[in-house]
Structures are given as structure tokens and as C-alpha cells.
């Protein structure tokens, strides 16, 4: 009971809820048509009809209706008020594919409310399908395809229809992913004409293609023949027999075939003439094939009358034709080995293996015969392609034949000339050039008849020896290509030798490249000589291994740090070049590129600096200056010499040299003063008029004699007595002294004597440059000043002493002059 109550309450709740929602969802009106599909470019009119109840509730009528497309209000000009409840809107030339159209009302003058909405879909009717064609793959059902025509923008269904005169077949509906083809679901019936067409239909229309009427057997694509096999014939080395199994379609129709074949290593196919295979068959014998050659075959078929389609190609099958005797003699040549002793020569006979198309089978061995002039023939069987034999210096005839299972080739004949044979008659105009990725050699034949030509070539390299390869050409050939594995960017030295009946002719050589490339390295430039405004550059020729081609020219690039680069082209034959118009005292950077026909390569950069002066320029300046200076000096000296008395008077008047004084002459017995009249005359213009000369001859380097020492004692006494008016020697006071002085070697004594106002300095003889003075000489100074640092520093002391010695010697010289003068005067006076 309780459950029943709960159920009733729930039911009532659902009922009322549904009612209220229904009220809410009940639209205020509707649009006609409901789901329009419109043709693009056409006109379209929609009508919105309001419900009376809604009109009363909202107090609106058709005038309050406004339309929107994709939320944009449509201008009122497109509206038409049909009556109080209905308003229509018209679109002209619809171009959008999908339009959302809504009917709206404005309630209470301000609130917009959506009444109803529809979606207008636009598109195009289908075009007539064209190019309808069908194919019957053997063992499968018929498939037809067509061109559907323009895009319709609508869902368009294509239906393939087919029928006989007496029967209709089920429609073939296209799948969504393949709308332009359809495979029927019934098996094709051959020899019964069928009519086929396509219907294309969408919401805007239906259109039918042209009908095609055909026999399905004329649309067959047969399965390819299978089990293709190839067999050869021992009787005929030029044929191969093909057999195969035809597809089952040949039970209904006649077949024709395409048979193609190629050699194993070829890429292009040859075809048996179609007229030879124009009817149903199960085998075919292919003729005119090369012996002992592997051929690959394939076959396909189609309906005999050409209607329908070719089958796919069958699987390939191959077979080898039977052997035949070698069709050509091998290429045959020889090399004389260097060792030549005891009247014999070592000759290496060489030959090439025959290519398969000439060997016509497996070459079992070679037979070589050697015949010396007017002697019997010698036979040799060789398995290799070379054979070395010692022969005499005579002329020989060698022959060579190749042998296979079937027979022997013709003999290749070669004349080995006598040792002293002089080869002549070379080919002329030898040329070599690359073409079509091959290296061709061309020459002009000599006037004489040539049996054959031998072409030899090798790669020139600085690192490896020239290993020669060779080939033989017939005597009628004057242009061929090198049949070897040639490499690009390698320099080949090619030699052509004509071979005459009596032996080989002279050889001609040429260098060539299969393909040139830019050099691997650029040349390294350096300076040979650098001048103020020019520099001579030099470089080495590039090694052949890095040339990669013929060096056609060089380009020298040079520049200063701030300047533009200048390029100069130089012929490849040069190895030096002079850069001119350079700026002096400037750093130049120079590099060099070498060019082949295919491009160039820069070498390393080199820098040099031009000098400030040209060679000899400095000498040109310095030498004249020096000469001028020398001349001036000379003139000055001459002038001084001429005016020496005047100069002497003003600059260095005569100073008596104490060292040249003779104490002996200065004894107590001798009047202390000499009346040097002549001296007075001589120094009449100076203050050197009152001079006493004391000569101590052993002052420098001689030990004093006892007489001298004795005199010295006397001198000391005298000196003490004349202390008040004696003057020292040294410094600038030398000229002011008018009396001679003497120094004592006894230091202590000196120190005692100089305890008053006079100090004595120590003069070290020959102290200059580590010379040990032999005698210490003392001199007295009138100065009352201490001896400053010189007393405390021995080196200064030595320097002072040296100075003093210079002055002393200088003075001594002057004194000698004076003395000589006086002696002369004295002599004159005595006279």
C-alpha cells in the first residue's frame, strides 16, 4: 500500500513536471520550410508564423517579427508581412553553404525573444558523371569508375546500375570513401553484353551518366602467365626456350603476349616483336641471343583482339645460353723487363681476359706460341694472363689463343722486335678529353698500315709509382675511351703506341683528367725580395696530387690592413711575380689561389712589410753627410792648425809639465830662478812667464834613482820653506799655479804636512781600468776644502787620478815642447 502511494506521487510529479516543461518548450511560432536545402545562387523565402496564444500573451503580431541569420539581424527590406501572424524573409543569390535562420519577436517593445530557428543548407545538384569505364580483373568481380563532376557540397549518392536485355542486376552503391568507383557483387558473365550507367543523386537532383554497353570479356585484365621457365639448347648457343602456363581466362578468349628480355646486368628490356606472339601459346623460342649469356625474361598477356587490359608482368625467369667458341682473340701486348744480360732479354707477355660476350663461355686456358726468326715454334699453355720468358735479342713472333669448352679463339699475333730495333712512326695529333664521364683519346693515324694500337695509362702521383693499365684497339680505330676504372681529379698519363707488322712504333704521350676539380691546396706564396715600393713574390708549383686538374692560372690577392684587396692574375707557367706600386713602410697581406677549369683554392696568407727606405737610400744620405762632416772637420783642423797659436793662447795656454821637469836642473846650486829671456819672449802675451820646471823622469814608470831621491829630499826641504807661495796641481787651478810643486809618496808624512791649510790628494798612476799604478804621486792642493768623496771612494779617486794623469801628460807634452824650445833658445843664447 505504501509502495503504491509512493508510486502515485512519483507519477504525478513526473506528469506535472512534464506538462510544465512542455509549456515552456512549446515555441511561440514556427518557420516554414522546416529543413530547407537550397541550390547555391538561387532565391529562398522562409515564413515565420506566430501562434495566437503567444501573440496574446506577449501582445505582439507579425510586425514585431525580425529575422536573424547567424545571429545578425536581416534588414527590414527583405521582410514581407503576410498577415497578422506571418512574416516572410527572402534571400536572393544564396552563397553560403550553411545558414542559421531564426525568427524573433520584440516583446514589450524592448525584450528580444527567439521564436524559432532553422538551418538552411546550400549546395549544387550533381553533374552528369563522365568517363565511365569498367574493368574485370580476372577472378574478381567487375569494377567501374567514373568522374563525378563538380563538388556539390551536399551528400551525393552514386549508384552503378547494370542490366542485360533480359535482366536487371542489383544496384551497386558506392562506399563513402570511394564515391567514384563501385565493384558489383555478381560475377561477370563473359560473352553477354551488359549495359552500365551511373546515377548521381542528392537533395537537389538526380542525374544519369551515358550508358555504356559492352561484353565483360572485352574489359578483362587477365592474370599474368605463371610458371615461366627458361631452357637452353646445346645445339644452338643463341637460343633460349620459354615455357609458361596461361591464366584460366584462355579458356574463354584467345591471348596475345608481350615477351621482354634483357641480359642480367642490363637495365633496359628488349621486346619480342608483338606479331610473333599475337596468339595463344604456351612456349616461345627466343633467337639471336649471345652465347653463354644470362638472360632474364618476363611475359604478360591480354585478349587477342586487343580489347581489355594487359595483365601485370609475370615473375621474371632467367636462363643462360649455351657456350660457343671465343669470338675474338684476346688483347695481346708485351713488356721488356729492364734486366738484360748475356744476350737475353726478359719479356713479359700480357693479355686481357676476354669479356663474357667475346669469351662465349668459361675460358679454360690460353695457348701461347713463340717463334724465333727461322726457328721452330714453341707452344706453351698458360692459365694466367701474363707469362714471362727469356728470349734472345732476336726478333720473335708470339701468338695467343683463348680456349673454352667449345673451341679456341682466333690467334692474336704480336711481333717482338729485335733488341736493336728503333721504333719510329708515332701517331700524331694525340688528344685526350673527357666526355660523357669517360676519358676519350683521339689521334691521327700514321701513314703506314697499323695492325693495332696499344693505349697505356697510369695515374701520375708524387707519392706512388705510375702503375700502368692498358687496352688494345683495332688498327682502324683512331678514337676510343679508356676502359678502366678511372678516378676523377687524377692526372692520367696516356700513351698511344701504334703496332705495325714489324713491331711497335714510337709512343706518344699526353696528360688528361677524367674530371677536374679545384686544387686541394692553394700555393704557398713567399717574398723573394721586398723593396720600398715593390715586392717580388715567389711560390712553388703545386704537387700533382693536389692539383686535381690543369692549373690554368694563379691569382695573387694582396692588401694592407686597412686597404681594399687587389687581385692580380698570373699565368700558370710563372713561379714568381713582382708586386709594384706598393706603399713604403706598410704591412701587406698576400695570398695566392690556383685555378683549374673547375675552380680555385686559396693558399695560406703571407705578410710582409715594405721598408721605409729603398736599398742604398740611406747610404745616399749618410755618405754625403759624413763626407761633409769629414770635410768640415778637416777644414776645422786645418784652420786650428794654422791658428793654433791663437787658439792655444785663448783656450789652452802652455802649462809646464812637471813630469818632464828635471830635478837635477833644479838643484840648490842652481839659481832658483832662471832668467828665460827667450821664454819671456815666447810667452810674452801670457802669464806663463814665470815657470820653474822640475823634471822627475822616473815619475811614471821608473824607479827613482838615488840621485833623484836625494834631490827629492832637497826638494822637500825647499818645499817646506816655500810653502807659503807654492800652488797645487789639479782641478781648474792648474793654470793659476805659477810655481812647481811636488808630491811625496809617504802618506803619513803628507798627512802631517797637510795638517794645516794645505791638503794633499793621492794620485794613482794608471788606475784607469784596473791598471795598477806603479808609483803613487802626491800633489798638493791649494784648496782648503776637504777632498770630498774622492778621498773616501777609491774608484772616484782613481778617476780623479786618471784625470790628473791625463792632464799631467798633456801638460808634460806641452812642457816638452817648451823645454825643446827653451833648449833651442838656450843653445842660441849659449852661442
Give the interface with another protein as residue ranges (CB under 8 A). 138-139, 163-168, 186-195, 213, 215-216, 223, 245-252, 280
Report the residue number, 225 or 600, with the smaller CB distance to another protein.
225
- The nearest distance, CB 138 to another protein, in angstroms, is 6
Residue 763, Cβ density class (10 Å: 0-12 exposed, 13-18 middle, ≥19 buried):
buried
**Do residues 28 and 58 lie in contact, with contact meaning Cβ atoms separated by under 8 Å?**
yes
Rounded Cα gap, residues 255 and 302, in angstroms: 5
- The nearest distance, CB 79 to another protein, in angstroms, is 53
Rounded Cα gap, residues 728 and 660, in angstroms: 17
Beta pairing class for 65-69 and 72-73: antiparallel
Report the residue number, 162 or 800, with the smaller CB distance to another protein.
162
- The nearest distance, CB 276 to another protein, in angstroms, is 20
Give the residue from 417, 426, 423 showing the smallest Cα distance to 398. Answer: 417
Report the residue number, 191 or 357, with the smaller CB distance to another protein.
191
Report the residue number, 163 or 337, with the smaller CB distance to another protein.
163
Listing from the earlier edge strand, what are the strands of the sheet with 317-320?
270-271, 255-263, 294-303, 317-320
Backbone angles phi, psi at 180, to 5 degrees: -110, 10
- The nearest distance, CB 242 to another protein, in angstroms, is 17
Rounded Cα gap, residues 130 and 713, in angstroms: 159
Question: What are the C-alpha distances in Å from 321 to residues 236, 268, 316, 430, 489?
Answer: 8, 19, 16, 41, 41
Report the residue number, 136 or 432, with the smaller CB distance to another protein.
136
Report the residue number, 166 or 379, with the smaller CB distance to another protein.
166
Report the residue number, 309 or 419, with the smaller CB distance to another protein.
309
Report the residue number, 220 or 579, with the smaller CB distance to another protein.
220
Stretch (H or E) spanning 19: helix 2-25
- The nearest distance, CB 193 to another protein, in angstroms, is 5
Report the residue number, 280 or 555, with the smaller CB distance to another protein.
280
**Three-state secondary-structure class, residue 638:** helix
- The nearest distance, CB 250 to another protein, in angstroms, is 8
- The nearest distance, CB 227 to another protein, in angstroms, is 10
Report the residue number, 192 or 487, with the smaller CB distance to another protein.
192
Give the residue from 654, 658, 661, 662 showing the smallest Cα distance to 682. Answer: 654
Beta pairing class for 220-221 and 130-137: parallel
Report the residue number, 22 or 251, with the smaller CB distance to another protein.
251
Task: Report the Cα 9 to chain-centroid distance in Å.
Answer: 95
- The nearest distance, CB 359 to another protein, in angstroms, is 41
Give the residue from 435, 434, 602 showing the smallest Cα distance to 518. Answer: 602
Report the residue number, 193 or 270, with the smaller CB distance to another protein.
193
Give the residue from 515, 503, 531 showing the smallest Cα distance to 612. Answer: 531
- The nearest distance, CB 232 to another protein, in angstroms, is 26
- The nearest distance, CB 186 to another protein, in angstroms, is 7
**In the 3-class helix/strand/coil scheme, how is 264-291 assigned residue by residue?**
CCCCCCEECCHHHHCCCCCEEEECCCCC
Rounded Cα gap, residues 426 and 548, in angstroms: 29
Q: List alpha helices for 276-383, DSSP H.
A: 356-359
Rounded Cα gap, residues 558 and 565, in angstroms: 6
- The nearest distance, CB 215 to another protein, in angstroms, is 7
Rounded Cα gap, residues 572 and 566, in angstroms: 19
- The nearest distance, CB 209 to another protein, in angstroms, is 15
Any idea what DSSP says for residue 567? E
- The nearest distance, CB 409 to another protein, in angstroms, is 47
Report the residue number, 245 or 735, with the smaller CB distance to another protein.
245
Report the residue number, 213 or 607, with the smaller CB distance to another protein.
213
- The nearest distance, CB 182 to another protein, in angstroms, is 18
What stretches of 420-507 adopt beta strand conformation (E)?
A: 428-435, 438-444, 452-460, 469-474, 479-481, 491-500, 503-504
Q: Count other C-beta atoms under 10 Å from residue 343's C-beta.
A: 9
**Three-state secondary-structure class, residue 730:** coil
Amino acid at each position: 500500500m505504501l509502495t503504491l502511494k509512493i508510486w502515485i506521487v512519483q507519477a504525478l510529479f513526473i506528469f506535472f513536471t512534464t506538462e510544465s516543461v512542455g509549456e515552456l518548450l512549446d515555441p511561440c511560432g514556427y518557420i516554414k520550410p522546416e529543413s530547407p536545402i537550397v541550390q547555391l545562387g538561387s532565391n529562398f523565402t522562409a515564413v515565420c508564423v506566430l501562434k495566437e496564444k503567444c501573440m496574446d500573451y506577449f501582445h505582439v503580431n507579425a510586425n514585431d517579427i525580425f529575422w536573424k541569420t547567424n545571429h545578425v539581424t536581416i534588414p527590414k527590406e527583405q521582410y514581407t508581412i503576410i498577415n497578422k501572424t506571418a512574416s516572410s524573409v527572402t534571400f536572393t543569390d544564396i552563397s553560403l553553404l550553411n545558414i542559421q535562420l531564426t525568427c524573433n519577436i520584440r516583446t514589450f517593445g524592448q525584450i528580444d525573444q527567439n521564436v524559432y530557428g532553422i538551418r538552411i543548407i546550400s549546395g549544387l545538384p550533381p553533374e552528369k558523371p563522365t568517363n565511365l569505364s569498367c574493368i574485370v580483373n580476372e577472378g574478381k568481380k567487375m569494377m567501374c569508375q567514373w568522374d563525378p563532376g563538380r563538388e556539390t557540397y551536399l551528400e551525393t549518392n552514386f549508384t552503378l546500375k547494370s542490366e542485360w536485355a533480359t535482366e536487371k542486376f542489383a544496384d551497386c552503391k558506392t562506399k563513402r570513401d570511394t564515391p567514384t568507383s563501385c565493384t558489383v557483387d555478381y560475377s561477370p558473365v563473359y560473352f553477354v553484353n551488359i549495359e552500365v550507367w551511373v546515377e548521381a543523386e542528392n537533395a537537389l537532383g538526380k542525374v544519369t551518366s551515358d550508358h555504356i554497353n559492352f561484353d565483360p570479356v572485352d574489359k578483362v585484365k587477365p592474370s599474368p602467365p605463371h610458371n615461366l621457365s627458361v631452357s637452353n639448347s646445346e645445339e644452338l648457343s643463341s637460343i633460349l626456350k620459354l615455357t609458361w602456363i596461361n591464366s584460366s581466362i584462355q579458356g574463354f578468349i584467345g591471348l596475345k603476349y608481350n615477351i621482354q628480355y634483357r641480359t642480367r646486368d642490363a637495365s633496359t628490356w628488349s621486346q619480342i616483336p608483338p606479331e610473333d606472339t599475337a596468339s595463344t601459346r604456351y612456349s616461345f623460342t627466343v633467337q639471336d641471343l649471345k652465347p653463354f649469356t644470362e638472360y632474364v625474361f618476363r611475359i604478360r598477356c591480354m585478349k587477342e583482339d586487343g580489347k581489355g587490359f594487359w595483365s601485370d608482368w609475370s615473375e621474371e625467369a632467367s636462363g643462360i645460353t649455351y657456350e660457343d667458341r671465343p669470338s675474338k682473340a684476346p688483347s695481346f701486348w708485351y713488356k721488356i723487363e729492364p734486366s738484360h744480360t748475356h744476350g737475353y732479354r726478359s719479356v713479359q707477355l700480357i693479355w686481357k681476359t676476354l669479356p663474357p660476350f667475346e669469351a662465349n663461355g668459361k675460358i679454360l686456358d690460353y695457348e701461347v706460341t713463340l717463334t724465333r726468326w727461322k726457328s721452330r715454334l714453341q707452344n706453351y699453355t698458360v692459365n694466367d694472363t701474363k707469362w714471362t720468358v727469356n728470349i734472345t735479342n732476336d726478333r720473335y713472333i708470339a701468338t695467343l689463343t683463348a680456349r673454352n669448352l667449345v673451341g679456341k679463339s682466333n690467334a692474336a699475333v704480336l711481333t717482338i722486335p729485335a733488341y736493336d730495333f728503333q721504333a719510329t712512326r708515332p701517331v700524331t695529333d694525340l688528344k685526350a678529353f673527357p666526355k660523357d664521364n669517360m676519358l676519350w683519346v683521339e689521334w691521327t693515324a700514321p701513314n703506314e698500315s697499323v695492325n693495332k694500337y696499344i693505349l697505356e695509362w697510369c695515374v701520375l702521383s708524387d707519392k706512388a709509382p705510375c702503375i700502368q693499365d692498358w687496352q688494345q684497339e683495332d688498327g682502324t680505330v683512331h678514337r676510343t675511351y679508356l676502359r678502366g676504372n678511372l678516378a676523377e681529379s687524377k692526372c692520367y698519363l696516356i700513351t698511344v703506341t701504334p703496332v705495325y707488322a714489324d713491331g711497335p712504333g714510337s709512343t706518344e704521350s699526353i696528360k688528361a683528367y677524367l674530371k677536374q676539380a679545384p686544387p686541394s691546396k692553394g700555393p704557398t706564396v713567399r717574398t723573394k725580395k721586398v723593396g720600398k715600393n715593390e715586392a717580388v713574390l715567389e711560390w712553388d708549383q703545386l704537387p700533382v696530387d693536389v692539383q686535381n686538374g690543369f692549373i690554368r692560372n694563379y691569382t695573387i690577392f694582396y692588401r694592407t690592413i686597412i686597404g681594399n684587396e687587389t687581385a692580380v692574375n698570373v699565368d700558370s707557367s710563372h713561379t714568381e711575380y713582382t708586386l709594384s706600386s706598393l706603399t713604403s713602410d706598410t704591412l701587406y697581406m698576400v695570398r695566392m689561389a690556383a685555378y683549374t677549369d673547375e675552380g680555385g683554392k686559396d693558399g695560406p696568407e703571407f705578410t710582409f712589410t715594405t721598408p721605409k727606405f729603398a736599398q742604398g737610400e740611406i747610404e745616399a744620405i749618410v755618405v754625403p753627410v759624413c763626407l761633409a762632416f769629414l770635410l768640415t772637420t778637416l777644414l776645422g783642423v786645418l784652420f786650428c792648425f794654422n791658428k793654433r797659436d791663437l787658439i792655444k793662447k785663448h783656450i789652452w795656454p802652455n802649462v809646464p809639465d812637471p813630469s818632464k821637469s828635471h830635478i837635477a836642473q833644479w838643484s840648490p846650486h842652481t839659481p832658483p830662478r832662471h832668467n828665460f829671456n827667450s821664454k819671456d819672449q815666447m810667452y810674452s802675451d801670457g802669464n806663463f812667464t814665470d815657470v820653474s820646471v822640475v823634471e822627475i823622469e822616473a815619475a811614471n814608470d821608473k824607479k827613482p834613482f838615488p840621485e833623484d831621491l836625494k834631490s827629492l829630499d832637497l826638494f822637500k826641504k825647499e818645499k817646506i820653506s816655500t810653502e807659503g807661495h807654492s800652488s797645487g796641481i789639479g782641478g781648474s787651478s792648474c793654470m793659476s799655479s805659477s810655481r812647481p810643486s811636488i808630491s811625496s809618496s809617504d802618506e803619513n808624512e803628507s798627512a802631517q804636512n797637510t795638517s794645516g791649510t794645505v791638503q794633499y790628494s793621492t794620485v794613482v798612476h794608471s788606475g784607469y781600468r784596473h791598471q795598477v799604478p806603479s808609483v803613487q804621486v802626491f800633489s798638493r792642493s791649494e784648496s782648503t776644502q776637504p777632498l770630498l768623496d774622492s778621498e773616501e771612494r777609491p774608484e772616484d779617486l782613481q778617476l780623479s787620478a786618471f784625470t790628473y794623469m791625463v792632464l799631467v801628460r798633456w801638460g808634460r807634452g806641452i812642457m816638452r815642447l817648451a823645454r825643446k824650445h827653451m833648449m833651442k833658445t838656450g843653445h842660441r843664447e849659449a852661442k
